[in-house]
Amino acid sequence: MKTLFHIVFLLIICWQTIRAQEVAIEHVNLIPMNRDGVLKDQTVVVKDGRITEAGPAAKVKVPVGAVKVDGRGKFLMPGMGEMHGHIPPPSGPAAFIHDVLFLYVANGITTVRGMLGHPGQLDLREKAKRGEIDSPTLYLAGPSFSGTTVKSVEEAEQRVRQQKAEGWDLLKIHPGLTKAQYDAVARTARQVNIPFAGHVPADVGVLHALELRQQTIDHLDGYIEYLGGGASEIPQEKLVEVARRTREAGVWVVPTMVVWDTILGVHEPAVIYAFPELKYLPRDLIAQWKKTYDTRRSAPQFDLARVKRISEDRKRLLKAMDTEKVRIIFGTDAPQQYSVPGFSMHREIKAMADAGMKPYDILRSGTASVGEYFKDADRFGTLTVGSRADAILLEANPLDNLANVSRRAGVLVRGRWMPESAIQSRLAEIAKRNAGQ
């Protein structure tokens, strides 16, 4: 009898798990991101992590037993991508790793391109894919290619082949590579079919990186140096010219505007030290960030006027790239330097708007454009039938006011519905734990 009870109990659990994979968000205003604008009174049905139906509420039949979410008066947009994010190494505290992954999800970041790999991290990628942990879908760069990790052309070639064989999604370029080493990475990466992306080493320069079709140039790295910025304002025609070259090369850029201002030292300390989202990270990490920033701002060579000029030129460069239709994808470099996973998205959105980008283009850089970047790996980034079911349910229209991206009612991650009440409960637990350190 006891055995029969256990069998029935397991069958009930299995049935509930299967049914929970079906979600219907009803009567919602849909922002599909495969076009500009809003589709009113739509219903979206999700099963097994995919959108199976999306259309007028009067025509879409909701499956019996599906989890129903009332979308009346709300807006549904695709989940956002963090295209220059970081995942803590597996050797660190497990709680911190899972907190970081959840902080992304809590803010509607449903895809993360991790830009510095660590041994053992590929297992985490697979657990996320299987839904065993609360996490965005992860695409991971391998351990860095830098002046420290690569000492010869032969070593560069061998390292590329090794990371391809290990199963990393891309190669991460850091400063310090010689031009010959960089060329070896590019040549071998093409041979084994793995992309390379990240920084532009000083010995390489941005024009050569464009010539060799580095897949993404992150942080707008190398551009200001090429343009001679810092000493005086860069002429507009030079910004337009290099933006045009970037578009013609087909290279993507990941601007990371806010964190780079932090690295430059632009932000007033009292402002960034008071970011409310810092409560979700360990105190010792915040103390380390503060020490680094204090040191930077107090250095004898620190020139606030110069770094502000560089910051303004970066904004002008981003606007020129937007105007020239360069392929821009969203990223914040979290967690690093007061860039808190997930929460940094809202500050980056504002910075891109301050640079002159339009709301739709900013949101597209984190949704449909991310899906386009990963089109050979999966289908996502738009709310269309067949796409991975990643979405953010919002209380108000983000196309009217970008600040509405923070007004969540819940998040869909690979078809799993997480209401805002559950998200806030978990965030409160994380904040409480860090406060007690």
Give SS3 for 23.
Answer: strand
7 pLDDT higher than 70: no
Query: Looking at residue 19, what is its pLDDT?
Result: 40
> Nearest CA to 318 among 266, 358, 272, 372?
358
The whole-number average pLDDT for the span 80-93 is: 96
The whole-number average pLDDT for the span 345-364 is: 98
> Nearest CA to 110 among 422, 418, 424, 435?
418
> Nearest CA to 23 among 288, 413, 407?
413
Q: Label residue 437 by pLDDT band (50, 70, 90).
A: low
Alpha helices in 330-419 (DSSP H): 344-354, 359-366, 368-373
Neighbours of 324 (CB within 10 A): 17
Query: Looking at residue 392, what is its pLDDT?
Result: 98
Instruction: Please report, in angstroms and rounded to a whole number, the separation of the first and last CA atoms in the chain.
Output: 49
Average pLDDT score over the chain: 94
> Nearest CA to 430 among 353, 369, 341, 311?
341
284 pLDDT higher than 60: yes
The whole-number average pLDDT for the span 413-426 is: 97
Q: Which residue has the higher pLDDT, 230 or 102?
A: 102
Hey, where are the domains in the chain?
Answer: 22-78+385-435, 81-140+205-373
Q: Please tell me the distance from the alpha carbon of residue 110 to that of residue 81, in angstroms, as a whole number.
A: 6
**Structural contact between residues 317 and 379, judged by C-beta atoms closer than 8 angstroms:** no
Q: Please tell me the distance from the alpha carbon of residue 223 to that of residue 214, in angstroms, as a whole number.
A: 14
Q: Label residue 197 by pLDDT band (50, 70, 90).
A: very high
Q: In this predicted model, what pLDDT tens digit does every residue of 58-83 receive, in sequence order?
A: 999 999 999 999 999 999 999 999 99
Cβ within 8 Å of residue 136, ≥6 positions away: 79, 82, 101, 104, 105, 109, 110, 111, 112, 128, 413
Residue 208 in tokens: 């050569």
- Top CATH class, 22-78+385-435: mainly beta
Q: In this predicted model, what pLDDT tens digit does every residue of 27-37 receive, in sequence order?
A: 999 999 999 99
Q: In this predicted model, what pLDDT tens digit does every residue of 145-174 receive, in sequence order?
A: 999 999 999 999 999 999 999 999 999 999
Phi, psi of 218 (to 5 degrees): -95, 150
Q: Label residue 52 by pLDDT band (50, 70, 90).
A: very high
Residue 406 in tokens: 């923070």
4 pLDDT higher than 70: no
184 pLDDT higher than 70: yes
Q: Please tell me the distance from the alpha carbon of residue 188 to that of residue 165, in angstroms, as a whole number.
A: 13
14 pLDDT higher than 80: no
Q: In this predicted model, what pLDDT tens digit does every residue of 216-261 receive, in sequence order?
A: 999 999 999 999 988 788 999 999 999 999 999 999 999 999 999 9
367 pLDDT higher than 80: yes
Helix, strand, coil percentages for the chain (3-state, nearest 5): 45, 20, 35
The whole-number average pLDDT for the span 176-188 is: 98
16 pLDDT higher than 50: no
Q: In this predicted model, what pLDDT tens digit does every residue of 311-322 receive, in sequence order?
A: 999 999 999 999
The whole-number average pLDDT for the span 373-402 is: 98
Percent of the chain at pLDDT > 70 equals 95
